[in-house]
Structure 1
């Protein structure tokens, strides 16, 4: 969306002619007594073109004029016939290249600047009714569109679009590419992928349980005491049971004099 005003040169042998550009928008024409504003980049320049992109930043009708100057001499203003509105800009379709990288459908678009977007349409050949749309806003590298079926043909076309003027170009010529491989190989790949997912779904719970056990034993191990430190349970009290009655103790207490105790001890000793 860059706009340039160009004009025919004024040629004076041995002299350098300079040019100045002015513009007039809708506001200046209606509310500012038809005043003119000098271009910010094109005052007393030697080139015969002027980048007026910043000067005509609004989507309104602009009048443009330019004049030549040599020393103190100035020409009359040369005025653009009619008005220019950037909404009338004729956009061209983008230059694109469609690439089949294995099973990946890629598109490489021409970088036309930050103001441009691209509407990319792509479809499997023979299935035009299932056409898909992808909007590419930044053209910094190759854009990925879709994953293709093996051996199938895919077609792509694109349109240039500028949001600030809500205007788009016609679509580019359709380009088609074929995915590598054949259908059987694609089916084998799909089956292997499904089998891989199934195995992962079955083994994942076991691996999760095993991992939790490892972390449990590593962080909070169970202490096992050796047998020598274990306290055995007390043995049951033995009770003698028989036909004979247990000897009964005499609960009576007899106080004996010391002479009697000595006499009994002597008798036992002898």
Structure 2
């Protein structure tokens, strides 16, 4: 009787060990979601042949499809220890995720400890660049996010941040330009990025630039210089016309000579327009009626 009990105990122990080695969860799974890109990762196993298959289950599959699981599109029998689930987890739902591992002749199932929702993604703010070009300040945002964003830009003067102006940028390439309004002072720019798809936002650190200080007499001096140049040019042109006028008249304004028939006529042949008639004429007197 003791031998039979010992044999049963040994068989149960062997079965428990084999069951634990075959159906335990040796993989450390985790979801890395940044800027709406969802990557599932796990620790690899040392097997002669190994492949992984990822499945997910949303609320629709859980309640309407009898708890069925869906195979991830690009993660069927793969050898890598990561899977991009971005196109599969495209709704604001809670997803359960599990991994099937085939290691040599054994199969393991590992499930993510908690459900995942894309609203839990970590937002990393895009880089903001501020540059001055003449009297224009350009503000740009280097972003390659896979979704649309709305940027709220706050412009203020250093030391008077409470008096700021707000500008909304909602279209690619997310660029803003403004004139320099306060010369010789620091103009500061702060931004907030909002993602409407997941109702989440993040802030971008403030950047300040120093604008050039143009002297107050700069513009009058420029105007006076322009007037002096115009007057000088007018004087030079006037002197040049007086000096080179005859030369220009001689070379560009030709005097046409008289026709030869007119040159051959003697002066006596010309008809005088004066009335040289010697005929006597009586004056005409008109008497009143």
TM-score (norm 1): 0.62
Q: State the Cα RMSD in Å.
A: 2.8
Q: Is the 8 A contact 1:105 1:146 kept in 2?
A: yes
Q: Which residue of 2 aligns with 1:6?
A: 41
Cα 1:98–1:74 shift into 2, 3 Å: farther
TM-aligned CA deviation for residue 151 of structure 1: 1.6
Q: Which residue of 1 aligns with 2:90?
A: 57
Tell me what 2:213 maps to: 181
**Match of 1:216?**
none
140, 158, 164: which one pairs with 1:108? 140
The Cα shift of 1:116 comes to 4.3
The structure with the largest alpha-carbon Rg is 1
Q: Aligned pair in 2 of structure 1 residues 17, 151: CA closer, same or farther (>3 Å)?
A: same
CA distance in 2 between counterparts of 1:62 and 1:126 reads 48
Match of 2:99, SS state, is strand
1:76 corresponds to which residue? 108
Shift of 1:243: 8.6
Distance 1:26 1:83, change over 3 A: same
Contact 1:153 1:179 in 2 (8 A): yes
Q: Is the CA contact 2:154–2:167 (under 8 Å) kept in the aligned structure 1?
A: yes
Tell me, in whole angstroms, the C-alpha distance in 1 between the residues paired with 2:138 and 2:63.
51
C-alpha contact 1:155 1:174 (8 A) present in aligned 2: yes
Q: Structure 1: where are the runs of 5+ without partners? A: 193-240, 245-270
2:209 aligned with 1:156, yes or no? no
Distance 1:84 1:134, change over 3 A: same
Aligned runs of 1:124-143 on 2, under 5 Å? 124-138=157-171, 140=173, 143=175
Q: What is residue 67 of structure 2 aligned with on the other side?
A: 34
**1:161-176 map, 5 Å:** 161-169=194-202, 171-176=203-208
For 2:184 and 2:163, locate their aligned partners in 1 and report how far apart those are by CA, in whole Å: 18
Q: CA deviation at 1:164?
A: 0.6
Structure 2 gaps, min length 5: 1-35, 224-285
Aligned residues between the structures? 190
Structure number having the greater strand percentage:
2
